[in-house]
């Protein structure tokens, strides 16, 4: 009987320790929520490896720049690109200056969020993409800015095309710490 009581006491005391790591991984200040026409997508921004790019995505979400932005380029097995809240055709950018690259050792695999850019590595501005699978040819060539932590099934449902006809959209983007405004 004493052994059972001791075991139960140990389990009760261990429960907070098991919950704590999950809470420690949650960072609302660096969590970007995309409400899309296919459902929500939650992205953990990697301010630890790409602080300027993460700050830009948060700023543009707070500005409302991404609201109604289309997924204008979606290639099966590769990636879904969005973030052109200016023109909507993949040629637009924000009012802010371009950002210098912040390449890292994080590999492009399923759910990684990278910054789109022109041929100049220092030309990222507002557009980003979410990879459907491994894309090793992007490693060290594009800035990793985040990772999808929830809703990758919704990314999989986004209408494909290059360009996409009647594209799916980000209906609203916000930083989790700001709540739904």
Q: pLDDT digit string (tens) for 77-101? A: 999 999 999 999 999 999 999 999 9
| Per-residue model confidence (pLDDT) at position 133 | 98
| Per-residue model confidence (pLDDT) at position 162 | 93
| Per-residue model confidence (pLDDT) at position 180 | 72
Please tell me the distance from the alpha carbon of residue 115 to that of residue 112, in angstroms, as a whole number: 10
| Per-residue model confidence (pLDDT) at position 13 | 43
Number of C-beta neighbours around residue 103 at 10 A: 14
Please tell me the distance from the alpha carbon of residue 123 to that of residue 13, in angstroms, as a whole number: 51
**Taking Cα atoms as reference points, which of 34, 56, 52 lies closest to residue 148?**
34
Spell out the domains of the chain, with CATH numbers in brackets.
27-178 (2.40.100.10)
Pairing of β 39-45 and β 31-36: antiparallel
- With a CB cutoff of 8 Å and minimum separation 6, the contacts of 20 are none
Q: What percent of the chain has pLDDT over 70?
A: 86
Question: Tens digit of pLDDT per residue, the chain (181 long)?
Answer: 444 434 344 444 443 333 333 333 579 999 999 999 999 999 999 999 999 999 999 999 999 999 999 999 999 999 999 999 999 999 999 999 999 999 999 999 999 999 999 999 999 999 999 999 999 999 999 999 999 999 999 999 999 999 999 999 999 999 999 987 6
């Amino acid at each position: 009987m004493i052994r059972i009581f001791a075991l139960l006491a140990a389990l009760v005391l261990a429960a907070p320790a098991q919950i704590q790591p999950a809470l420690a991984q949650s960072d609302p200040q660096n969590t970007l929520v995309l409400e899309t026409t296919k459902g929500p997508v939650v992205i953990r921004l990697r301010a630890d490896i790409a602080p300027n790019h993460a700050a830009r995505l948060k700023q543009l979400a707070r500005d409302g720049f991404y609201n109604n932005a289309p997924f204008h380029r979606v290639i099966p097995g590769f990636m879904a690109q969005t973030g052109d809240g200016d023109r909507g055709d993949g040629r637009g950018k924000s009012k802010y200056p371009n950002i210098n690259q912040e390449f890292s050792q994080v590999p492009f695999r399923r759910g990684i969020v990278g910054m789109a850019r022109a041929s100049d590595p220092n030309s990222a501005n507002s557009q980003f993409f979410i990879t459907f699978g491994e894309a090793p040819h992007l490693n060290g060539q594009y800035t990793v800015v985040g990772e999808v932590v929830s809703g990758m099934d919704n990314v999989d449902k986004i209408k494909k095309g290059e360009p996409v006809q009647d594209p799916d959209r980000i209906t609203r983007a916000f930083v989790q710490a700001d709540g739904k405004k």
